[in-house]
Amino acid sequence: MPLSLLQPGDGPVDWRSFIDGGPAEVIFHTDLEGRVLWISADVLEALGFEPSPILGTDLIARVHPADQERILALRRQALAGQHLSSVPIRVRSIDGEYHEFQAAARSVTGVNGAVEGLVVTWRDVNDRVAVVRAFATLAEGSRVLLRATSEQDLLQRMCEAATHIGGYAFAWYGVPVDDEEKSILIRAVAGNDMGYTRNLRTSWGDGPLAQGPAGLAIKTRQTQVLNNLAEDPRFAPWLQQANRRGIRCSISLPVLVHGEIHGALLVYSQDPRSFDDRAQELLEALAADLGYGLAQRQDAEALRISQEALEREVTFDSLTGLAKQGLSLQRIQEILDTREAPGWALLCVGVDGMTSINQAYTYAAGDAVLKEVARRLVHVAGAHDRVGRIAGDEFALILRELITSTDAAEAAQRILGALVGPFEHDGVQFDISGCIGIAMAGDDDAESLLRDATAAMRAASKQGRARWSFLDENVAARSRMALDVQSRLREALHNQRIVAWFMPIVELSTHALCGYEALVRWVLEDGSVMPPDTFLPIAERSDLIRDIDRLVLAQSFDALAAIDPAFHIAVNVSAASLHSGGLEAAVSEELQRTGVLATRLHLEVTETTLLQVTQEIRDSMLRLARAGVTWWVDDFGTGYSSVSHLRDLPIQGLKLDQSFTAGLSAHDSHTARLTRGLVGLADGLDLRTVAEGVETAEQAALLQGQGWEMAQGWLFGKALPLP
């Protein structure tokens, strides 16, 4: 298991608690003139000042001159009793550097009700961003372990995780070379290094070039953090190049494989204090993940060599070239033991009518048919080692990357379609078909799994030619039902029974209507409505989701043309539609067709979808944004979206996931802190906000008090057709 997913001797990492566990906010109490009467001890960690000397002074002198008027306005409004959102400011620390904070203030009254001063809160924005960046990089690194196709691909993807997801300036990976200079060979580079690594010379031996972060990390096996490159003499040989690129700090992470040093991952940032203790801890977990992935690939390579040697000694079927039953069982058992593919199925394929072919013609004709069946099965399986011949006219086929039994049933239908078709031998044409038995992998051993698949195949053959079945008829029935839903869904799209209903969105401060969210509904022939969670997952596993997205988009534009021009409509965009390349053209077509202003259309994508944004998609999103379309992040707080995505993509708003709203109450301080932190992040990035799933007046009041601007939910109205 990747090391980032567990802490030693502990349960899964709670990343929200990890982020919230950082330094406390700097809080201080002032009199009416702004003089500090009391200040929290956190000012020492945040700015380097002892609390005592600050008492009696006005901290506005430490605020950047360009931000002082903003602070004075905040004071005046707070003293007037107004409740305000936080404002961004820059404060000079004891070392002379400016640090970014979000400042908020509220008035303090005495026993007689008169205002006596203010309580001011400064939240360190850079500190929170540093941890979020590091965690986003770590989360992407865990996914990279599953996606990488080779050691080189793994190294490259890890560097890209730091730059594309974490938002760091650039990253590279180097391995020690046992040559005369003890040089470090750069294996992978990502980000815009502006040629920094092209002629980079560094060493892990002796001398000045070995005192840099890469050489020290490899020699000492210890992480090297340089949070101020300009003041660290060890970085002198490379400082000029770093300054030209605006690089302020770096971290060098040693990577161990089976206890031995493999190399070092170097990450550079243009932002000061990017690698504090908590960010370092997260990135060290990333390096441990990388070592884990490299070790897995080394082990896999050793296993492959061993298996190839074994297969040379094991007999294969001379007719088809496929593994016989013994080797097939071994391969199945290896997958079961290693859990290499946690979602997979074993299919037993029986050829229809082989006895009749052998009796009516010759065994040579039957052999030709079996060879053709084997060829077709290998073609549809995509790999020779996924198919085996387990008996005379019976084959085993391993299907990987499945999620449900319905996926297996869909695959079985495709395989039956690939098998069916004429085949000619010695001037005689044969109509090939087969029956398939399906066994989903569980806790069984290989022989039990093959036995169940074979029994299911025999049950299928009793139903006729070209059939599939599970051993458990209940599973078969559920799978057929899902396939039936898919077929009916296609028909419903054709018959225009898939429609958009609209849920109201209101301003929290006034509860006035400001827009709608378009939600898809399937209206059955009897007038009842099929729940979206029944058919949308099925649509998402096929090409139907793009058709649904296109239909909802068109109906939303029709609605925009009919409702008050002051209202907007939010439309969800699936990952499939975003990657299809046709979204931009579809929106342009609807804008031209209806004449609706582009600014009234909000397109919503989930956090998970943001992680898969390519440069082509980014360019398309930017063009739509320049045309006036607004992009929002839906279900915010449940995924791992990078701060760099919110910064670099044309995102203008966040929608709080309804799971946060559901847990929000006056007595749930944990959820309240989370929602307050999320709206603070949105405020700091100048993003609009909507809270989903609001069902009670208490939730609405708490969200409004935290600063959420808009809301939707059953408190304000369910999704319905527009009148």
Query: Where is the domain boundary, 418, 452, 484?
Result: 484
Mean pLDDT of 468-496: 74
Do 677 and 584 share a structural domain? yes
Question: Which of the 8 DSSP states describes residue 208?
Answer: G
Confidence (pLDDT) at 17:
44
> What crossing angle do the helices spanning 446-461 and 325-338 adopt, rounded to 10°?
120
Mean pLDDT of 568-575: 92
Confidence (pLDDT) at 609:
82
Q: What is the CATH number of the domain that holds 592?
A: 3.20.20.450
Task: Tell me if 107 is assigned to some domain.
Answer: yes
User: Does an H or E element contain 329, and which?
Assistant: helix 325-338
Could you tell me the pLDDT band of residue 342, with boundaries at 50, 70 and 90?
low
Could you tell me the pLDDT band of residue 499, with boundaries at 50, 70 and 90?
very high
Tokens of 224: 């090297």
Q: What is the CATH number of the domain that holds 455?
A: 3.30.70.270
Task: Tell me if 138 is assigned to some domain.
Answer: no
Q: Are 665 and 698 in contact (CB under 8 A)?
A: yes
Rg over CA atoms, the chain? 31
Do 542 and 600 share a structural domain? yes
Confidence (pLDDT) at 22:
46
Could you tell me the pLDDT band of residue 340, with boundaries at 50, 70 and 90?
low
Task: Tell me if 468 is assigned to some domain.
Answer: yes
Do 475 and 539 share a structural domain? no
Mean pLDDT of 434-451: 84
Could you tell me the pLDDT band of residue 565, with boundaries at 50, 70 and 90?
very high
How many percent of the chain have pLDDT more than 70? 90
Return d(Cα 139, Cα 121) in angstroms, integer. 31
Of these ranges, 96-105, 148-157, 318-327, the one predicted with the greatest mean pLDDT is: 148-157
Tally the domains of the chain.
Answer: 4
Confidence (pLDDT) at 125:
66
Q: 519 — phi, psi (to 5°)?
A: -125, 135
Q: Are 63 and 109 in contact (CB under 8 A)?
A: no
Q: What is the CATH number of the domain that holds 164?
A: 3.30.450.40
Residue predicted with more confidence, 162 or 431: 162
Which ranges of 100-254 would DSSP assign to H, the alpha helix? 125-147, 151-160, 213-220, 236-244
Do 467 and 364 share a structural domain? yes
Amino acid at 422: P
Confidence (pLDDT) at 104:
86
Do 613 and 506 share a structural domain? yes
Does residue 39 surpass a pLDDT of 50? yes
Return d(Cα 150, Cα 535) in angstroms, integer. 37
Task: Tell me if 722 is assigned to some domain.
Answer: no
Mean pLDDT of 699-704: 92
Could you tell me the pLDDT band of residue 173, with boundaries at 50, 70 and 90?
very high
Do 335 and 281 share a structural domain? no
Tokens of 41: 């001890």
Amino acid at 686: D
Do 348 and 219 share a structural domain? no
User: Is the Cα torsion angle 356, 362, 363, 367 positive or negative in sign?
Assistant: negative
Mean pLDDT of 158-167: 92
Query: Where is the domain boundary, 267, 302, 337?
Result: 302
Do 704 and 577 share a structural domain? yes
**Structural domain of 293:** 148-302
Helix (H, G, I), strand (E, B) or coil at 679: helix
- pLDDT one-digit tens code per residue, 183-225: 999 999 999 888 899 889 999 998 889 999 999 999 999 999 9
Q: Are 191 and 170 in contact (CB under 8 A)?
A: yes
Confidence (pLDDT) at 475:
58
Query: Where is the domain boundary, 273, 302, 331?
Result: 302
Of these ranges, 261-275, 403-417, 526-540, 600-614, the one predicted with the greatest mean pLDDT is: 261-275
The 3 state secondary structure assigned to 534-567 is HHHHHHHCCCHHHHHHHHHHHHHHHHHHHCCCCC
User: Does an H or E element contain 396, and which?
Assistant: strand 394-399
Do 170 and 104 share a structural domain? no
Task: Tell me if 5 is assigned to some domain.
Answer: no
- pLDDT one-digit tens code per residue, 626-665: 999 999 998 887 665 556 677 778 999 999 988 888 888 7
Task: Tell me if 10 is assigned to some domain.
Answer: no
Do 363 and 246 share a structural domain? no
User: Does an H or E element contain 92, and which?
Assistant: strand 87-92
Q: What is the CATH number of the domain that holds 39?
A: 3.30.450.20
Least confident among 290-299, 311-320, 582-591: 311-320
Do 153 and 115 share a structural domain? no
User: Is the Cα torsion angle 17, 21, 22, 25 positive or negative in sign?
Assistant: positive
Return d(Cα 338, Cα 307) in angstroms, integer. 14
- Whole-model pTM above 0.75? no
Residue 481 CB coordination number (10 Å):
12
Task: Tell me if 235 is assigned to some domain.
Answer: yes
- pLDDT one-digit tens code per residue, 217-239: 999 999 999 988 888 898 999 99
Task: Tell me if 622 is assigned to some domain.
Answer: yes
- Quote the longest CA-to-CA distance of the chain: 109
Do 525 and 418 share a structural domain? no
Return d(Cα 3, Cα 297) in angstroms, integer. 16
Of these ranges, 3-7, 341-345, 661-665, the one predicted with the greatest mean pLDDT is: 661-665
Return d(Cα 409, Cα 277) in angstroms, integer. 50
Q: Are 264 and 217 in contact (CB under 8 A)?
A: yes
